[in-house]
Chain A
């Protein structure tokens, strides 16, 4: 029996985004033992993934604590030996390492594997190397604004292109937990109530929508007498919960009784069950959002700061997203914000309410009041998830480039077979597929470039500034791949010349490549 190990050492949300890959692997290799290596905090989540047969874990928090307490290298060595002993000696047919870090690279070198996909140490010089597909991913990651693929799709295709791409993430809700939760909710509200879950917090202030905005939104939602709100979160969200309830008791004291807090009161299974019972989850870019999509709960995700819909938007059909933006969007996580997180206010409660009413009651979708937000909904093309423009601020130039990147990505994945590039770019600015689509995208780019030459201000709305050399990363990657069948990190790092140079060179090179 084949053994396949997937390494995903990031958080719960990242693991859930890996579940389509696990599902695909299981489908492709039904006899294989699908194993995962995860952080100890995620091991429970992995246990509820229907496609996982065996779990290995590393308790990073415990190791960090030991490192803090112990300075002696020999003792540290022994701690790590204990932590990795289970993995040591394991043999796999295929190992897929999804995390780009020296730490997981090292971990991936502990078991023996015939084939290693994703990131790994090169045997020749022990430097970090990666599959062409991940090389492409890293190259485009530098230009997050043009991210052509959702992270789930990146993960999924890391193991190779397979048919029947799953259109959702996976998490099994235990029937007992579900029944218990239904009972609990029935106790809290009448049966015909509409449950809307609110995830108030997120792991980073850059991604967290202001509490007073949540209060205002809640007050509006609670104008509907059958709506009950369920507050979700962990112990860390306690103070936010208090602030929210204080605020709501001032603006809408009569409706506070229809707010039920589950913050710090649910197990993982219970959280999933609550979401399964909810009609809608309103959240930022959080692990809860990924959990909701896995249990088929519709989401309205509020993305801003470093959160970018095309990159980590909710995976599944019929989810909705409001993408707030500022001139620096999307930014880099943990970077000092010199604009005081102004992009958070680009999403206003009135617009969130309007989209919620559209989702819940089928009210017509209007142009948002905020001029700096965009409303999108999720759908699928042949290649994976896409996010359709529905209303609001649209940057067509970005869309064209994004779609072009996407087509090129499929080409790369299909080993440069342009004709089978697949139907992608749907509703992201490109309306023709395959080779013609690429050519059309080039023409669009050239048109934009020419208009930029003649009057830079004409394309100002498209934000064609000199810092965005968005063609370059991809082309470097593409050419490296053509030359050596293996992209290198250096290729991505070179991608920083001016827009015009990048675009001119990029379109030229691409034309040449197509002609070949």
Chain B
């Protein structure tokens, strides 16, 4: 060990990060590490036979690393550049010439120690920030460059880092880096036969697809018609139960059968999805991760007690006491996942005059005629008030305000109503209160959907609403009828204020409350709790060509192929990238190209055998 160099390096680090310097001092270098000399005489670290740098000219490779990355991703002034992996720093030095802050995450203390022993890094240490733990990154970096050899020897840490990026992305603080490869997950979504969570299933499907995953929807609503006929049959309760069970088993069998063929990484079911305990058991045997998003009020839908323990992951729109109850029945992986909006559906729309005529009013309500709504809306009948939706009491004076004779309203028309009304009343349903439910502990989808449409709403107070919107700035609440009337009168005469609040709510939804955000959060939670669940079935990624230059040098006939591949990727190319570059060309396949393609084909055969 060159003590002078080491001490010099430690002294430099002590100035910048004394805690880390102490840690490096007390670290010892693993016996698996081997320092070898490159052809041009520079030290290179090998970990378990993986060389962290070129064995020919590591400095040249370092410069190529910078160029290759900058060619693919621009770095704006002021961006923090994060490099995953320090190694012996050859690839980091060129970055210090950029006018950007450079943070290097080197997950192995002993790599730092080894590097400090071998190379004078004092200048580099002064120019960059070094950290050893993902948690030290306050937030996800604007730009992340992955040093592939370091990724290879620290895959789990790298995964953590990418998850951190996912979380940050969900809150819209940073953009994602294209160099971070994300696993495409294969998901089978099971919808309910009918009901409120049916459209949510479709929104989730779209969101997951948008996130780049492979999604298949098993749409159980195809059974709605026969199912409703069975429900409508005048037969005894037992027979109805038997028939319901048959539907349950039929659809469950379809799910299992689909899984056998489709081999998803995960099955996601939404509330009321017809999956039997036996089917869940079989999915478990097939080693398929199961997740359920329970988008209903647990107090009124007790079936969760039977099913929640059968799923690997349980997502809820309520927490607190519900979590206690889930724990009590042995559920371990539960997570709060509130409702959301789909901006592709719930958006601002320019309405025609006819639409404005039909759907427009000072105040409106869209939803079913639950008890508390029937009661409370008695007090609003002196306004220009249109009520939309079904299950309203025809005998009530409220009925005079019910549109289309209480018919179901399509999603398209619902969006028009939201857009056309000056004030949209949002009152969470209750079957036992006269108006606002003071114990309401979840936020309904309408809250997000209205906001997503840029529509102004007055929503009843909910204990957790302030977690999602800034009450008073982005959303206005009311506590009772009197309060509601006062706010209606105020906002009907303050157009600008109303529109500004609605726009702020919309912005918040776009930033945090879309189904895309929810699905990202769901997958991130699952990966956190069960890191290998999406990886174990996936094929291992093909080996990277770390030292492209060495390849060129030894096999000059590969130069143009590998150059093409380098242009298609950041960092070192793998055989898939090389194959893609070859297929992108035209003309007869050349011999060296054929050899690369054969490597890919045999690699694939090997993976199938594995």
Shortest beta-carbon distance, A327 to chain B, in Å? 15
Q: Is the CB of A121 within 8 A of B589?
A: yes
Q: How far is the CA of A107 from the CA of B602 in the complex (A)?
A: 12
Shortest beta-carbon distance, B556 to chain A, in Å? 13
Stretch at the interface among B36-44, B168-176, B593-601: B593-601
Q: How far is the CA of A338 from the CA of B258 in the complex (A)?
A: 12
Which residues of B have CB within 8 Å of A109? 588-589, 594
Q: How far is the CA of A73 from the CA of B597 in the complex (A)?
A: 12
User: Is B585 in contact with chain A by the CB < 8 A criterion?
Assistant: yes
Which residues of A have CB within 8 Å of B589? 106, 109, 121, 126
User: Is B288 in contact with chain A by the CB < 8 A criterion?
Assistant: no
* Interface membership of chain A positions 69-103, coded 1 if the CB is closer than 8 angstroms to chain B and 0 otherwise: 00111101100110010001000000000000111
Q: How far is the CA of A68 from the CA of B594 in the complex (A)?
A: 20
Q: How far is the CA of A336 from the CA of B286 in the complex (A)?
A: 12
Contact size range, B: 20 to 34
Q: How far is the CA of A145 from the CA of B237 in the complex (A)?
A: 46
Give B542's nearest chain A residue, CB to CB.
A73
User: Is A182 in contact with chain B by the CB < 8 A criterion?
Assistant: no
Q: Is the interface of B mostly helix, strand, loop or mixed?
A: helix
Q: Is the CB of A123 within 8 A of B587?
A: yes
Q: Is the CB of A67 within 8 A of B585?
A: no
Would A64 and B594 be within 8 Å (CB), given that A74-B551, A123-B586 are in contact?
no
Q: Is the CB of A73 within 8 A of B599?
A: yes
User: Is A460 in contact with chain B by the CB < 8 A criterion?
Assistant: no
Shortest beta-carbon distance, B455 to chain A, in Å? 43
Which residues of B have CB within 8 Å of A192? none
Q: Is the CB of A67 within 8 A of B597?
A: no
Most interface-central of B543, B583, B586, B589 (chain A CB within 10 A): B589
Would A64 and B554 be within 8 Å (CB), given that A84-B595, A124-B586, A126-B586 are in contact?
no
**Of B260, B555, B585, which is within 8 A of A77 by CB?**
B555
Contact size range, A: 20 to 34
Q: Is the CB of B558 within 8 A of A106?
A: no
User: Is A360 in contact with chain B by the CB < 8 A criterion?
Assistant: no
Q: Is the CB of B595 within 8 A of A81?
A: yes
Q: Is the CB of B260 within 8 A of A74?
A: no
Which residues of B have CB within 8 Å of A121? 588-589
* Interface membership of chain A positions 90-134, coded 1 if the CB is closer than 8 angstroms to chain B and 0 otherwise: 000000000001110011011000000000010111110000000
Which residues of A have CB within 8 Å of B601? 101-103, 106
User: Is A63 in contact with chain B by the CB < 8 A criterion?
Assistant: yes
Would A80 and B609 be within 8 Å (CB), given that A106-B589, A123-B586, A336-B260 are in contact?
no
Q: Is the CB of B597 within 8 A of A106?
A: yes
Give A336's nearest chain B residue, CB to CB.
B260
Would A80 and B586 be within 8 Å (CB), given that A73-B543, A73-B545 are in contact?
no
User: Is B300 in contact with chain A by the CB < 8 A criterion?
Assistant: no
Shortest beta-carbon distance, B554 to chain A, in Å? 7
Would A110 and B606 be within 8 Å (CB), given that A102-B597, A125-B586 are in contact?
no
Would A106 and B598 be within 8 Å (CB), given that A67-B606, A68-B606, A124-B586 are in contact?
yes
Q: How far is the CA of A71 from the CA of B558 in the complex (A)?
A: 18
Give B260's nearest chain A residue, CB to CB.
A336
Q: How far is the CA of A64 from the CA of B257 in the complex (A)?
A: 33
User: Is B603 in contact with chain A by the CB < 8 A criterion?
Assistant: yes
User: Is B582 in contact with chain A by the CB < 8 A criterion?
Assistant: yes
Shortest beta-carbon distance, B187 to chain A, in Å? 21
User: Is B575 in contact with chain A by the CB < 8 A criterion?
Assistant: yes
Which residues of A have CB within 8 Å of B575? 73
**Of A110, A124, A338, which is within 8 A of B594 by CB?**
A110
User: Is B605 in contact with chain A by the CB < 8 A criterion?
Assistant: yes
Q: How far is the CA of A456 from the CA of B551 in the complex (A)?
A: 66
Give A66's nearest chain B residue, CB to CB.
B602
Which residues of A have CB within 8 Å of B597? 102, 106
Which residues in chain B, 401-426, are within 8 Å of chain A measured between CB atoms?
none
Q: Is the CB of A123 within 8 A of B543?
A: no
Which residues of A have CB within 8 Å of B606? 64, 67-68
Q: How far is the CA of A493 from the CA of B335 in the complex (A)?
A: 42
User: Is B470 in contact with chain A by the CB < 8 A criterion?
Assistant: no
**Of B583, B585, B587, B595, which is within 8 A of A80 by CB?**
B595
Give B547's nearest chain A residue, CB to CB.
A74
Shortest beta-carbon distance, B401 to chain A, in Å? 48
User: Is B591 in contact with chain A by the CB < 8 A criterion?
Assistant: yes
Which residues of A have CB within 8 Å of B231? none
Which residues of A have CB within 8 Å of B586? 123-126
Q: Is the CB of A84 within 8 A of B594?
A: yes
Which residues of B have CB within 8 Å of A68? 606
**Of A67, A81, A106, A338, which is within 8 A of B603 by CB?**
A67
Give A124's nearest chain B residue, CB to CB.
B586
* Interface membership of chain B positions 252-289, coded 1 if the CB is closer than 8 angstroms to chain A and 0 otherwise: 00000100100000000000000000000000000000
Which residues in chain B, 527-574, are within 8 Å of chain A measured between CB atoms?
543-545, 547, 550-551, 554-555, 558
Q: How far is the CA of A68 from the CA of B606 in the complex (A)?
A: 8
Q: How far is the CA of A336 from the CA of B258 in the complex (A)?
A: 12
Q: Is the CB of A77 within 8 A of B588?
A: no
Which residues of B have CB within 8 Å of A73? 543-545, 551, 575, 599
Shortest beta-carbon distance, A5 to chain B, in Å? 15
Q: How far is the CA of A71 from the CA of B551 in the complex (A)?
A: 14
Most interface-central of A64, A88, A106 (chain B CB within 10 A): A106
Which residues of B have CB within 8 Å of A76? 599, 602
Which residues in chain A, 461-475, are within 8 Å of chain B measured between CB atoms?
none
Which residues of A have CB within 8 Å of B544? 73
Give B605's nearest chain A residue, CB to CB.
A64
Q: How far is the CA of A21 from the CA of B603 in the complex (A)?
A: 32
Additional A-B contacts beyond A74-B550, A77-B551 (12; CB < 8 A): A64-B602, A64-B605, A64-B606, A68-B606, A74-B547, A77-B595, A101-B601, A103-B598, A106-B601, A107-B598, A336-B260, A338-B257
Q: Could you give 24 example pairs across A and B, Cβ below 8 Å?
A: A60-B602, A64-B606, A64-B609, A67-B599, A67-B606, A76-B602, A77-B555, A77-B596, A80-B602, A81-B595, A84-B591, A84-B595, A88-B591, A101-B601, A102-B601, A106-B589, A106-B597, A106-B601, A107-B598, A123-B586, A126-B586, A127-B583, A336-B260, A338-B257
What 9 A-B pairs come out closest when comparing CB atoms?
Answer: A109-B589, A103-B601, A106-B597, A73-B545, A80-B595, A71-B543, A80-B598, A76-B599, A67-B602
Query: Which B residues are closer than 8 A to A by beta carbons?
Result: 257, 260, 543-545, 547, 550-551, 554-555, 558, 575, 582-583, 585-589, 591, 594-599, 601-603, 605-606, 609
Query: Which A residues are closer than 8 A to B by beta carbons?
Result: 60, 63-64, 67-68, 71-74, 76-77, 80-81, 84, 88, 101-103, 106-107, 109-110, 121, 123-127, 336, 338
